[in-house]
Amino acid sequence: MELKAIIIDDEPLAINVLRNYISQVKELQLIKTFPNAVDASAYLQSHEVDIIFLDINMPILDGLEFLKTLNEAPMILITTAHEEYALESFELEVIDYLVKPIPFPRFLKSVNRILKLKKGSSTNGHNGHKEKANIFVKVDKKKLQKIYLDEIMVVESLKDYIRIKTTSDKFIVHKTLSSFTEELPIDQFIRIHRSYTINIDKVQVVEGNSLEIGKTRYTIGRSYINDVKEKILNR
């Protein structure tokens, strides 16, 4: 299995580093490099590639805006000197976010992940870059935490923060419950109280004006109760 890759970056030094790294991985073939996203976009109209190593800050069209123009994007590895675009990048379903200067072990870790996804794709007949549904949340000033949606049990309001309780952990996130609930699939999650949003699939017991998830009882708010019971019972 050999994956075709292109590099989009306006820094010759950065291109040379990636070119050297790619040459050391026998499963990768570097097809072409581009100093800007506009030229790369034209190339992709008539050529198929498996991986794009994509810088963000570039002239004419930046990397994230370029990514939004793609109808069916290849697997994307962001390569940038800036950390602040990580959350937006992951929301665009990139495979990984590599911050320059990129150490070779970090590069190799990302590539190995892609190879594993591609191997699973050829075995199962699915697109290798698709994972089960997830969301990234900022759990401190720099750290982004991936959380799989089917592992979320309850999201609790803490005024300007929320506590996300999963099947294996808890995370505190600087975000309101309303804004976070809007990011979740409406067929899987529902607000049951001004302080709680729950994963419908995790409900074990419904009794009166409360429900039970993971042996913990949660009150259903009076204004929510009809919608909550209907949605849970019709799930």
Q: What is the pLDDT of residues 163-184, one digit of tens each?
A: 999 999 999 999 999 999 998 8
Q: What is the pLDDT of residues 65-94, one digit of tens each?
A: 999 998 888 999 999 999 888 888 888 889
Q: What's the predicted TM-score (pTM) here?
A: 0.57
Cα–Cα distance between 1 and 16 in angstroms, integer?
24
23 residue type, one letter: S
Q: For residue 163, what are the contacts with CB-CB under 8 A and spacing of at least 6? A: 155, 156, 170, 171, 172, 173
**Ramachandran category for residue 68: left, alpha or beta (phi over 0 → left; psi -120 to 50 → alpha):** alpha
- Which residue segments constitute the domains of the chain, with CATH numbers given? 3-124 (3.40.50.2300), 134-233 (2.40.50.1020)
68 residue type, one letter: K
Using alpha carbons, select from 26, 9, 33 the residue that is nearest to residue 115.
26
110 by Cβ neighbours in 10 Å (0-12 / 13-18 / 19+) ranks as buried
